Chains A and B, each alone.
Chain A
């Protein structure tokens, strides 16, 4: 069994994590997120050309089309492009226009149109479901352990979610419904490591009610380290396969989960556990006899 002193640098890691969380929040509010059509409404059209073509040509072609808002980006292979516009023009019109203008054959691979009303509803339900997930986890931990554990676990989840969103802002990755799905998955999954560690902390607390709390927590972390790393590791292996082979549609989703699992494993050890210590969890876990009438 390993014998690391995880808690030696706990102040340092708590500081680093707080900084990252703060930086993420600032980033999201200043740089913002690249919301996909799901949230901001509008139309995206994925097109494929038969020949390789410079993205500039497509931009030029679109500029002749007198639409107000549009952007073009490469999408996966060199022949695939993603055009985003508002809902003022039909995808077929865009396709026909570019085909005529560039004299190239184009196939539409995918169209997504979301009205502004649906977009704002989706934002609302996304925020609600993430909050609901936090609340559910809080009560779950409270029910299974003690409130100190709840706070530790939730702090770690909060940390994981905020930093993952921050990374999406930093890298300018598209943030859509699948990313929210990934966040919920991270919340549900990264609490697992925390639960495993908490279980062991409680087990050790029951065995030994006299030693220093920090020693017990540290011992529990060492007890479970191999398990924590291996469970996260196997899940990482599988999601990395999706990240590499899953194609453009799943890339953002797989990236979010990959990142979330890594940061979730870190936070289980360096955030969730120290916080339980700070809150001074109760020491007497012997079974109480209930004398109340």
Chain B
């Protein structure tokens, strides 16, 4: 194993040069002239400071809302056709109702089939067999009891749409607030990771990301409330905390907004948000205000009445303003929320990790110090234990670090504090490969006269052991990679990459040096 063809030597040297080239690109002061690649190791949030937020979307309200809409629709249709029914409920994601007269069963089925505006036609479950399983809504009849629910596939699709839409809106909101290089990505089926490097006080982000921002315009219940509406609901008033009855009928919602800007009303000395509807919204708003002059309107944000202005004259321009006793900051946030749009479902922040820039700098420093200390300790020990061969091992160790950093740069990996610890640890582990070989060589030298043969056997016999020992640590590292997030993942990455590169350096670079030395000193008594 000590023979190297010219081709192999050429390969080893050129690969070292290649990795050096990548490695040097990491240093700004060297790369001023853009001579090197602009591929760098990214610093993790724990090193550069920043905020990590994990958001979770609660899908239940979304499905519930769809069911409610369906129920309202059914009720309306049943009443129109004078179908006698009772006990119409929504429970456990199912709509149930009973018909009073069994002979009306066919009429009910017919009516159900007619409520198919955006979903496909309902399909019927008979004895647990679904006919037309690809329909979005399914129903089941037990005597006079009807059970209706959404198809699993449909719910899955709704959830997928909701998360995609949420990610878009989160991205818009984050962009509106402005921060450098945010990353937003999906995790699992209902979570979103938001990483905000450099941000040390995420409170404004937290305020904005946790809001659904569903804006609704409805009328407050008055004596002249029309009778054909969908009933009333109680909504909390923001200013005094009291509950006010408003009509369920929606005039127009935030979906129809095209713009929203924070402003200041000089007459009332208040921060306000002015908004503008799109064509459809403006038309809806104009129609509603035309017929209801003198009635109070409720501007509702996430089930809270922000303000309840009385309509003095029809609003035909499609623009208006909300004054809700806001601070400047609140008006700003509301404008951002309205511009970015409403989330399809409520979202909560379930995990936050924020590191200040100071701590990040301290961590970098202690990481570098422990790296240097660890490296020196191992370096000195190797020279003490194996003399010249120790130096060979150390050179290869140093190159191992260079290669490790360049591999991390090529992949654009993120370096975290535990990641630095991982590098230091691989210094200690990488040298094991050389120790195993040298110890074996020591043994073989006792039996074998020829230096070259002794080392050759040592390399040969150690190979499998070394693969074994690296592989077990690698397996643990890979498991760790899937367990961890952020900092811990960074550790797993440096550990795994470090082990692989150490295997490469030990069997190329340090073996090449050992072989060249032995060829030149065939008969010398080796002091190892």
Residue numbers of A with Cβ under 8 A of B are 1, 46, 48, 90, 92, 107-115, 117-118, 125-126, 128-129, 132-133, 136-137, 140, 144, 177-178, 180-181, 184-185, 187-189, 191-192, 195-196, 199, 223, 226-227, 230-231, 233-242, 244-247, 249-250, 253-254, 257
B203, A234: Cβ atoms under 8 Å? Answer: no
Our pick among A113, A196, A226 for the contact of B469 (Cβ within 8 Å) is A196
B355, A109: Cβ atoms under 8 Å? Answer: yes
Our pick among B201, B385, B425, B488 for the contact of A178 (Cβ within 8 Å) is B488
* Residue B356 lies at the interface, judged by CB distance under 8 Å to chain A: yes
* Residue B139 lies at the interface, judged by CB distance under 8 Å to chain A: no
Our pick among A118, A144, A188 for the contact of B477 (Cβ within 8 Å) is A188
Our pick among B350, B436, B472 for the contact of A115 (Cβ within 8 Å) is B350
Task: Please measure, in the bound complex, the distance between the C-alpha atom of A233 and the C-alpha atom of B374, giving whole angstroms.
Answer: 12
A231, B432: Cβ atoms under 8 Å? Answer: yes
Task: Please measure, in the bound complex, the distance between the C-alpha atom of A121 and the C-alpha atom of B484, giving whole angstroms.
Answer: 12
Given contacts A233-B381, A237-B381, contact A133 B355 (CB under 8 A): no
A107 CB to closest chain B CB, in angstroms?
A: 7
A107, B469: Cβ atoms under 8 Å? Answer: no
Task: Please measure, in the bound complex, the distance between the C-alpha atom of A167 and the C-alpha atom of B364, giving whole angstroms.
Answer: 29
A41 CB to closest chain B CB, in angstroms?
A: 9
* Residue B63 lies at the interface, judged by CB distance under 8 Å to chain A: no
B159 CB to closest chain A CB, in angstroms?
A: 18
Our pick among A113, A133, A234 for the contact of B476 (Cβ within 8 Å) is A133
Our pick among B363, B417, B428 for the contact of A235 (Cβ within 8 Å) is B428
Our pick among A111, A133, A240, A242 for the contact of B354 (Cβ within 8 Å) is A111
B373, A133: Cβ atoms under 8 Å? Answer: no
A140, B471: Cβ atoms under 8 Å? Answer: yes
A92, B480: Cβ atoms under 8 Å? Answer: no
Pick the most buried of A111, A128, A184: most chain B CB atoms within 10 A of its CB: A184
Q: A185-B473, A187-B476 are in contact. List 13 more A-B contacts (CB 8 A).
A: A112-B352, A129-B483, A133-B479, A180-B483, A192-B432, A199-B468, A223-B443, A227-B435, A227-B436, A227-B440, A235-B432, A238-B424, A246-B366
B473-489 to A contact mask, C-beta < 8 Å, 1/0: 11111011011100110
B476, A246: Cβ atoms under 8 Å? Answer: no
Nearest opposing residue in chain B for A108, CB measure: B356
Task: Please measure, in the bound complex, the distance between the C-alpha atom of A137 and the C-alpha atom of B482, giving whole angstroms.
Answer: 17
- A-B complex: 3 closest residue pairs judged by Cβ atoms: A188-B476, A238-B428, A241-B374
Given contacts A199-B464, A253-B418, contact A237 B377 (CB under 8 A): yes
Pick the most buried of B56, B366, B385: most chain A CB atoms within 10 A of its CB: B366
Nearest opposing residue in chain A for B470, CB measure: A192
B507 CB to closest chain A CB, in angstroms?
A: 17
B230 CB to closest chain A CB, in angstroms?
A: 35
Task: Please measure, in the bound complex, the distance between the C-alpha atom of A126 and the C-alpha atom of B482, giving whole angstroms.
Answer: 10
Nearest opposing residue in chain A for B206, CB measure: A90
Given contacts A109-B355, A180-B483, A236-B428, contact A191 B378 (CB under 8 A): no
Residue numbers of B with Cβ under 8 A of A are 46, 54, 56, 200-201, 203, 348-356, 358-359, 362-363, 366-367, 369-371, 373-375, 377-378, 381-382, 385, 417-418, 421, 424-425, 427-429, 431-432, 435-436, 439-440, 443, 464-465, 468-469, 471-477, 479-480, 482-484, 487-488, 491-492, 495
B428, A126: Cβ atoms under 8 Å? Answer: no
A234, B479: Cβ atoms under 8 Å? Answer: no
B405 CB to closest chain A CB, in angstroms?
A: 17
A254, B421: Cβ atoms under 8 Å? Answer: yes
A185, B475: Cβ atoms under 8 Å? Answer: no
Task: Please measure, in the bound complex, the distance between the C-alpha atom of A246 and the C-alpha atom of B46, giving whole angstroms.
Answer: 14
Nearest opposing residue in chain B for A181, CB measure: B488
Our pick among B54, B421, B440, B473 for the contact of A192 (Cβ within 8 Å) is B473
Task: Please measure, in the bound complex, the distance between the C-alpha atom of A113 and the C-alpha atom of B55, giving whole angstroms.
Answer: 12
A249, B443: Cβ atoms under 8 Å? Answer: no
B443, A240: Cβ atoms under 8 Å? Answer: no
Nearest opposing residue in chain B for A47, CB measure: B356
B479, A245: Cβ atoms under 8 Å? Answer: no
Task: Please measure, in the bound complex, the distance between the C-alpha atom of A112 and the C-alpha atom of B45, giving whole angstroms.
Answer: 13
A188, B439: Cβ atoms under 8 Å? Answer: no
B483, A234: Cβ atoms under 8 Å? Answer: no
Task: Please measure, in the bound complex, the distance between the C-alpha atom of A104 and the C-alpha atom of B216, giving whole angstroms.
Answer: 45
Given contacts A111-B352, A249-B363, contact A140 B475 (CB under 8 A): yes
A118, B374: Cβ atoms under 8 Å? Answer: no
Q: Chain A residues near B474: list those with CB within 8 A.
A: 188
22 pairs, CB–CB < 8 Å, chain A vs chain B: A90-B203, A92-B203, A110-B354, A111-B353, A118-B54, A136-B475, A136-B479, A178-B418, A185-B480, A191-B469, A231-B435, A233-B381, A234-B381, A234-B428, A234-B435, A236-B428, A237-B374, A239-B425, A241-B370, A241-B371, A244-B370, A250-B366
Given contacts A195-B468, A238-B427, contact A178 B363 (CB under 8 A): no
Given contacts A90-B203, A107-B358, A223-B443, contact A177 B424 (CB under 8 A): no
Our pick among A92, A137, A196, A257 for the contact of B475 (Cβ within 8 Å) is A137
A196, B436: Cβ atoms under 8 Å? Answer: yes
Our pick among A114, A115, A144, A242 for the contact of B374 (Cβ within 8 Å) is A242
Nearest opposing residue in chain A for B432, CB measure: A231
Nearest opposing residue in chain B for A225, CB measure: B439
Q: Chain B residues near A234: list those with CB within 8 A.
A: 378, 381-382, 428-429, 431-432, 435
Given contacts A238-B428, A241-B370, A246-B421, contact A112 B353 (CB under 8 A): yes
Q: Chain B residues near A178: list those with CB within 8 A.
A: 418, 487-488, 491
B351, A177: Cβ atoms under 8 Å? Answer: no
Nearest opposing residue in chain B for A114, CB measure: B351
A113 CB to closest chain B CB, in angstroms?
A: 4
